[in-house]
Amino acid sequence: MPKSNDFYELLGHAGPVLSVAFAPPDQLISGSADGTIRRWNFKTRESIGEPLTGHIGTVLSVSISPNGQMIASSGQDKTLRLWNARTGKPVGRVLQHPDWVRCVKFSPNGEYVATACDDKKVRLWHVHKRAKTLTGSEKDIIDGLRDSVNLDVDEPSTLISGRDESGNPTTSIVASPTS
């Protein structure tokens, strides 16, 4: 291992780490094939509290709300779970999907969470209502298209999703401000 202060490892997961997200001011969130989510202080290089448990199987994606107060996680158990970032306790009910949930991201204002599922669909959830929502649309689910889907939500932003020409599932989504 290099002897530089610019590189170090955070050890604690029992399986491969598949997702990481930075959390203000000096935390890192990680999701693993061991079914856990860990919170780290990357300055002290220490784990914060106990691992977050609840997923059955691999945690495929983690995201942190813009204000740093909530963690979203998704996994092979076909769920989206929300957690209090400070206490590590679950928040609200588990949100079921029909297949593996590969990716989860908070919107820039923290009011929405988008999920990308192996059923080739993106779902947009209102965080506080725990309900699927697409403002201005009759449908609550967007079908995955060959190239991409653009969606305007309640705020001035666009949600973008896609899959490759072989039809492989959506594995990453981005919420981006337009101004």
Query: How does pLDDT run across 1-40, given as a tens digit for each residue?
Result: 345 567 778 889 999 999 999 988 889 999 999 999 999 9
Give the pTM.
0.75
- From residue 170, alpha-carbon distances to 88, 115, 161 in Å are 28, 9, 7
Whole-number CA gyration radius for the chain: 16
Domain coordinates of the chain in residue numbers? 17-177
Query: How does pLDDT run across 97-143, given as a tens digit for each residue?
Result: 999 999 999 999 999 999 999 988 888 898 887 666 544 344 444 44
Indicate the class that CATH gives domain 17-177. Answer: mainly beta
Query: How does pLDDT run across 56-69, given as a tens digit for each residue?
Result: 999 999 999 999 99
| Torsion sign across C-alpha atoms 26, 32, 159, 136 | negative
* Count of Cβ atoms closer than 10 Å to residue 162 Cβ: 17
Query: How does pLDDT run across 133-144, given as a tens digit for each residue?
Result: 544 344 444 444
